[in-house]
């Protein structure tokens, strides 16, 4: 007797999600490196936590697939962004998290008819994305009315942002 393997169509929807999570991992690492390098210590600490979370999200997806006996190749990821301002790191984070929110919504809609257990598994990721988009939205709102190119002003609100 051989154990069941996750439906190949469902697996093909989940595997690319691993790449998105790793892409976020690298971009947050790039954000943390930029922030640490220019003295935004609290922001750097925040982004380092994001790095750990993105790695954990990728691990959850990989564990789910391997637990269902799916053997797969890790997706290729693109080179992370290079940052030149704190505001740019926030905007990048927002854009990426919103994009991932849409990707998880789309993936969930696709698997809903095929496998409700996988749909339920993806619920945790939809919730994470919903919360993260709201968090970054708040950061963008805090930047309104601030000269985001003025490092002193950004240092003054860094503790509110992070």
Question: pLDDT of the chain along its 162 residues, tens only?
Answer: 999 999 999 999 999 999 999 999 999 999 999 999 999 999 999 999 999 999 999 999 999 999 999 999 999 999 999 999 999 999 999 999 999 999 999 999 999 999 999 999 999 999 999 999 999 999 999 999 999 999 999 999 999 999
Distance, CA of 106 to CA of 4 (rounded, Å): 25
CB distance 69 to 6 below 8 Å: yes
Question: What are the pLDDT digits (tens) for 130-146?
Answer: 999 999 999 999 999 99
Distance, CA of 75 to CA of 13 (rounded, Å): 12
Give the residue among 75, 71, 58, 57 at the shortest CA–CA distance from 6: 71
Q: Average pLDDT over the chain, rounded to whole?
A: 96
Domain boundaries, the chain: 8-72+84-161
The DSSP 8-state label assigned to residue 7 in this structure reads -
Helix pair angle (41-67, 151-161), 10° resolution: 50
DSSP string, 108-157: HHHHHTT-HHHHHHHHHHHHHHHHHHHHHHHHHHHHTTS-TT-HHHHHHH
Alpha helices in 76-115 (DSSP H): 86-112
Question: What are the pLDDT digits (tens) for 66-87?
Answer: 999 999 999 999 999 999 999 9
The confidence score (pLDDT) of residue 44 equals 98
Distance, CA of 41 to CA of 48 (rounded, Å): 11
Q: What is the CATH number of domain 8-72+84-161?
A: 1.20.1260.10
């Amino acid at each position: 007797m051989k154990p069941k393997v996750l439906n190949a169509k469902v697996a093909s929807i989940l595997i690319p999600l691993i790449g998105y999570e790793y892409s976020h991992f690298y971009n947050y690492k790039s954000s943390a490196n930029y922030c640490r390098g220019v003295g935004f210590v609290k922001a750097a600490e925040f982004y380092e936590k994001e790095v750990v979370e993105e790695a954990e999200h990728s691990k959850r997806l990989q564990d789910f697939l391997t637990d269902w006996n799916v053997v797969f190749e890790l997706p290729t990821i693109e080179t992370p962004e290079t940052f030149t301002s704190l505001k740019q790191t926030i905007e990048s984070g927002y854009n990426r998290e919103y994009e991932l929110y849409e990707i998880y919504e789309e993936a969930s809609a696709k698997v809903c008819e095929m496998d409700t257990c996988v749909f339920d598994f993806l619920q945790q990721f939809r919730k994470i994305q919903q919360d993260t988009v709201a968090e970054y939205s708040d950061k963008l709102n805090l930047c309104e009315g601030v000269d985001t190119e003025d490092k002193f002003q950004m240092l003054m609100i860094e503790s509110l942002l992070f």
